[in-house]
Amino acid sequence: MIERILPPGVVFSEVFGDPPGHALFPEEEAIIAGAPSVERRREFTTGRRCAHRALAELGCPPGPVLKGPDKAPVWPDEVTGTITHDRGYRCAAVARVADILSIGIDANAGSRPVTVGWDRMTGPAERRRLAELAAERPDVPWDRILFSAKEAAFKAWYPLARTKVGMRQAEVLIDPDRGTFRANVLLAPGPEVNGRPLTGVSGQWMVAEDGLVLTAASVINSDRYRPGARAQGVSAAVVAGRGWSPARATSGHVRPTRAPRIPSSPTPHTRHPAVAPAAVPRTDVQRGVQM
């Protein structure tokens, strides 16, 4: 499902639920040994399962995905990656640094409570825009889309800048028609990337029929990146969720697509998006499917 918003060159593995039977590496077992709950252990194990499968698809030898001092996953040399999990959904995405310098994904099923007020998470311009979007299309969870977009953008920003960004230190602009977003970091310019200071990260978002919000942001290596097309069967202008499309979000139209059934005993799905020749602008931070 998440392949609809991932850039070409990214390999992913996603799963609904926590299939049993996956053995962690001893080093990973040590990380989760003191897990405060069974649920935490399950989500960690399934997240690592997805990471192992995505890395194998990328051609990496088997090995543990450890946790660094900053609590972020530690990936093999020349690989960038990201893991996300929320109620019933786990996913890992990886890519070669030769193509993608960093990537961040986030899933938001509405199960994570907001622990701080919106005035501490958003700026005035963001709140005004959220109000406008809610008035235009009240059935779309714009607040969760914005929150998830920030999370994905922070994950893509940190490996390059090595600075953490607070919620109010980034301003997210959501494009409801293209299903894209831009997170402008309101700090001093970040490191130089592809010959220019990194000032923010762009990405794409989608909402599934069951309300699951997915976001993905990345920074490409434009010096070596070879542009490609999206996975076959997915329009570059329309990022369809499992029931409606953000490209139609302001029209009031709900596309009558059939939502795939989530199996009761799910199995992970790993896929490398198809790549076909296409002209894509080469910039330091790409928008949407062109990242």
For residue range 41-69, what is the model confidence (pLDDT) as tens digits?
999 999 999 999 999 999 999 999 999 98
Confirm whether 30 is domain-assigned: yes
What do you get for the CA distance between the two ends of the chain, in Å?
Answer: 18
- Cβ proximity of 227 and 290 under 8 Å: yes
Confirm whether 128 is domain-assigned: yes
Check residue 177 and give its pLDDT.
Answer: 93
Confirm whether 264 is domain-assigned: no
Compute and round to an integer the Cα radius of gyration of the chain.
Answer: 18
In the predicted model, is pLDDT for residue 144 greater than 90? yes
Query: Tokens 């530690």 identify what position?
Result: 74
The pLDDT-based confidence of 206 (bands split at 50, 70, 90) is very high
Confirm whether 275 is domain-assigned: yes
Confirm whether 161 is domain-assigned: yes
Structural domain for 15, as ranges: 2-253+271-290
- Per the structure, how many domains does the chain have? 1
3-state secondary structure of 14: strand
Nearest CA to 247 out of 257, 258, 261, 236 is that of 236
Check residue 116 and give its pLDDT.
Answer: 58
Average pLDDT, the chain: 77
28 to each of 21, 80, 146, 254, how far by Cα in Å?
15, 19, 32, 43
Confirm whether 154 is domain-assigned: yes
Check residue 142 and give its pLDDT.
Answer: 94
Nearest CA to 181 out of 5, 21, 32 is that of 5
* Side chain identity at residue 160, one-letter code: L
Distance CA 125, CA 82 (A): 29
Confirm whether 10 is domain-assigned: yes
95-143 confidence digits (pLDDT tens): 999 999 999 999 999 876 665 567 778 889 999 999 999 999 999 999 9
225-270 confidence digits (pLDDT tens): 554 322 222 222 222 222 222 332 222 222 222 222 223 233 333 3
Alpha-helical (H) ranges within 162-214 are none
Alpha-helical (H) ranges within 124-171 are 124-136, 142-161
Alpha-helical (H) ranges within the chain are 26-32, 38-58, 118-121, 124-136, 142-161
Confirm whether 265 is domain-assigned: no
170 to each of 146, 182, 185, how far by Cα in Å?
11, 10, 4
In the predicted model, is pLDDT for residue 37 greater than 70? yes
Check residue 256 and give its pLDDT.
Answer: 24
The pLDDT-based confidence of 156 (bands split at 50, 70, 90) is very high
Distance CA 68, CA 70 (A): 5
Check residue 87 and give its pLDDT.
Answer: 87
Distance CA 12, CA 273 (A): 9
Nearest CA to 8 out of 227, 180, 240, 156 is that of 227
